[in-house]
Amino acid sequence: DGGITQSPKYLFRKEGQNVTLSCEQNLNHDAMYWYRQDPGQGLRLIYYSQIVNDFQKGDIAEGYSVSREKKESFPLTVTSAQKNPTAFYLCASSGYPGGYEQYFGPGTRLTVT
């Protein structure tokens, strides 16, 4: 069963703690992405990676970090420097180069109190 998995579905953290969100895909896609979604808003790009060991900042990268050590995995760390971390986080992947279509995982809802 091919697809993108994100875990956990719900995550709760105290303010000041770093937290890492998992994203795995078995679609053999080269490119992976992290988006953030706030209530009533569209999705905004945090980071993306077109190839292993390389990644680029999106529009709202401040307070986040990523790594891409394996083609299948693209974890996102929400650091204590992120001012408003509570949001719905979505991971996506696409074939690269040439693959415009981005396919999304089920998302992780992070609540920081």
Partner 1 sequence: GENVEQHPSTLSVQEGDSAVIKCTYSDSASNYFPWYKQELGKGPQLIIDIRSNVGEKKDQRIAVTLNKTAKHFSLHITETQPEDSAVYFCAASRQAGTALIFGKGTTLSVSS
Contact residues for partner 1, defined by CB under 8 A: 4, 6, 30-31, 33, 40-45, 48, 50, 58-59, 90, 94, 96-107, 109
Provide the minimum distance between the beta carbon of 61 and partner 1 in the complex, in angstroms, as a whole number: 11
Q: Give CA separation, 14 vs 19, 39, 41, 111, in Å.
A: 10, 21, 24, 8
Provide the minimum distance between the beta carbon of 80 and partner 1 in the complex, in angstroms, as a whole number: 26
Residues 6+ apart with CB under 8 A from 20: 75, 76, 77, 78
Provide the minimum distance between the beta carbon of 91 and partner 1 in the complex, in angstroms, as a whole number: 8
For β-strands 87-94 and 103-104, DSSP reports them as antiparallel
